[in-house]
Chains A and B, each alone.
Chain A
Amino acid sequence: GENVEQHPSTLSVQEGDSAVIKCTYSDSASNYFPWYKQELGKGPQLIIDIRSNVGEKKDQRIAVTLNKTAKHFSLHITETQPEDSAVYFCAASYFGNEKLTFGTGTRLTIIP
């Protein structure tokens, strides 16, 4: 089955700086890669996703890149703000079997 590794497990950045979280996956059949943000006491919230036919996707301060050859994808947050503090999860799945396999999460702390 699919295995997703995520790092770092914790990340602290100064407000206004950029944050990068990286994930690798094992199953070359995976073709959908979402990123979720989870705040304390809440369920995961989808913030951005990318499909395998695209190398990069951007939505305002958030971007995701995918390298299919190396089987890794990354989340980039620019101009970080205190409200970006949360736990971020990457995940992978493939069309026809949409169960998500999640990474172990990154606790991001934005230092004012």
Chain B
Amino acid sequence: DIQMTQSPASLSASLGETVTIECRASEDIYNGLAWYQQKPGKSPQLLIYNANSLHTGVPSRFSGSGSGTQYSLKINSLQSEDVASYFCQQYYDYPWTFGGGTKLELK
């Protein structure tokens, strides 16, 4: 199975700040990567797919980048509604696997 290592596990940032979350795959996943946001008690919501494509309706302050085994999610100008957990997921190979998650809090 492809292992997805996400960092940091938790992150505290101020409103308006830019934050970056990293995801490393145990092998090349050829941009088969998605990012999800999950608020407490809710289901995950798709943010980014194909490593850098913004899902419909997602604010443009979210962006994804990377290639090979290294990927990142950037949130520009952090808003209060961005407080959530974030997960990366690879869908290049079966079984599809997720990173351990990053819990983003406000400082």
Indicate, yes or no, whether A interacts with B.
no
A interface list, Cβ under 8 A from B? none
B interface list, Cβ under 8 A from A? none
